[in-house]
Structure 1
Amino acid sequence: MVNLEQTRFNMVEQQIRTWNVLNQDILDLLYQVKREEFVPAAYRFMAFVDMEIPLEHGAVMLTPKMEARILQELHIRKTDKILEVGTGTGYMTALLSKLGTHVFSVEIVPELHTMAHINLQTHDITNVTLELGDAARGWPGHGPYDVIVLTASTPVLPEAFQQNLAPGGRLFAIIGEEPVMEATLITCTSPGNYSSTCLFETCTAPFRNALQRESFHF
């Protein structure tokens, strides 16, 4: 019988803490919200592995250390209104819901939208609004937001996301194309003004219908 708590401890100590995720609130949250309960049944054995988990229609569940690092970089406050683009199985949604006041999460794949709804309901998480739709180029509906998280990559970041940040708001996005993409934190320093920081290089699946670079023809 696999000792789940020992495996979870190993994940936190060997993968996540060693990737400079040292915020104790974030680390505690990873023990509180059980990752394996949000992983599709066929991949549950991979719940604590340092790999992306394949989901429906080319989507992926980010690695545990990436999820934790995103949460740490965003410095989420209890009063923050959050937009998540790409609900997936609802795991990141659940983590965000424990840190902010309300999460609006949008998923384009109906099967994942349904799975996330069931997962969040099972865990009695109520400060989340799940929406079905294509938010790869923006989702202004409930903005402005204090925090925006893009859980897949985009070759070009649509301006709509920055424009939907409240003053002081933070946006996490993975920008670029294979083989190198940049995990980027954008902060709204004042209305209409933004600062951008490249956090690290990475690579992950793009959003369906993501904004593409313009190709030039000579």
Structure 2
Amino acid sequence: MEQDFAQARRLMVEHQIRARGVSNERVLAAMREVPRHLFVPEDLRYAAYGDHPLPIGEEQTISQPYIVAVMTELLSPEPGDRILEIGTGSGYQAAVLGRIVREVWSVERIASVAAQAERNLEAVGAANVHVVVGDGTLGLPERAPYDGIIVTAAAPSVPEPLFDQVADGGRLVAPVGSRHLQDLVCYTRRGGDFVVRSWGGVAFVPLIGTYGWEV
């Protein structure tokens, strides 16, 4: 069975990700290595490598593999980087980043979701990923600055505190828009300014918090 999952990962990367334009070799390698099926409910493992999001409980989802790859590539992670993730979910995105960078800090609002993510991350040996329960829209200023910040839920606008936590030259990737449809944007810090570019339309669950949506 594990051999079947490994083959499914290789096919996922080649057909769903590389073939659609993701070319960062570090990203492709990480997604070949991280066992996505261990980050979804056991009764959905058969569907873990399909090109679609899956429910993980508490009205949360694990993003489709292609979007995980796109967001990771937009972040341009380097081996020495420290990354902040807003919205841990099942821990899969953090695990992918953890295969590339030095350290990942991830903030999750729902304690039960964070606890499951920690178990998932421990199961795959992601010792450089740290999960914190809290309001992700505030970031994690005590560990700032970060070489990259990735937001994995939809906000009406990028939470203001996050801009202050991006290191010079660092990037911030987030889906911004309505509760149902967003634009995936990437901000790059250049001193006191940010250069922004848009990737395109996406659909994420809402980001709940002080600088996000109300419950």
Structure 2: unaligned runs, 5 residues or longer:
none
SS in 1 for 2:143: coil
Distance in 2 (CA, whole Å) between partners of 1:43 and 1:146 is 34
Change (3 A) 1:103 1:212: closer
Partner residue, 1:10: 11
What TM-score comes out, normalization by structure 2 length? 0.91
Change (3 A) 1:211 1:68: same
Structure-to-structure mapping, 1:184-203, within 5 angstroms: 184-190=185-191, 192-203=192-203
- The Cα offsets for residues 102-158 of structure 1, whole Å up to 9 and x where unpaired, read as 111111111111111111212222112211111124332211111101011111212
SS in 1 for 2:58: helix
Q: Confirm whether residue 110 of structure 1 aligns to residue 148 of structure 2.
A: no
Structure-to-structure mapping, 1:66-215, within 5 angstroms: 66-190=67-191, 192-209=192-209, 211=211
Partner residue, 1:216: none
> Which has the larger Rg?
1
Counterpart of 1:195 in structure 2: which amino acid?
V
Distance in 2 (CA, whole Å) between partners of 1:82 and 1:179 is 27
Contact 2:156 2:212 in 1 (8 A): yes
SS in 1 for 2:153: strand
User: Which segment drifts farther, 60-69 or 125-134?
Assistant: 125-134
SS in 2 for 1:154: coil
- The Cα offsets for residues 8-56 of structure 1, whole Å up to 9 and x where unpaired, read as 2222122111321122222121121111111121221220111111122
Q: Confirm whether residue 26 of structure 1 aligns to residue 27 of structure 2.
A: yes
What TM-score comes out, normalization by structure 1 length? 0.90
SS in 1 for 2:176: strand
Q: CA deviation at 1:178?
A: 4.8
Residue identity (%): 32
Distance in 2 (CA, whole Å) between partners of 1:209 and 1:25 is 32
Structure 1: unaligned runs, 5 residues or longer:
214-218
Distance in 1 (CA, whole Å) between partners of 2:210 and 2:182 is 14
Q: CA deviation at 1:7?
A: 2.3
Q: CA deviation at 1:210?
A: 6.4
User: Which segment drifts farther, 204-213 or 107-116?
Assistant: 204-213
Change (3 A) 1:132 1:212: closer
SS in 2 for 1:25: helix
Partner residue, 1:51: 52
Distance in 1 (CA, whole Å) between partners of 2:210 and 2:7 is 39
Distance in 2 (CA, whole Å) between partners of 1:27 and 1:165 is 25
Counterpart of 1:21 in structure 2: which amino acid?
V
RMSD: 1.8
Contact 1:147 1:171 in 2 (8 A): yes
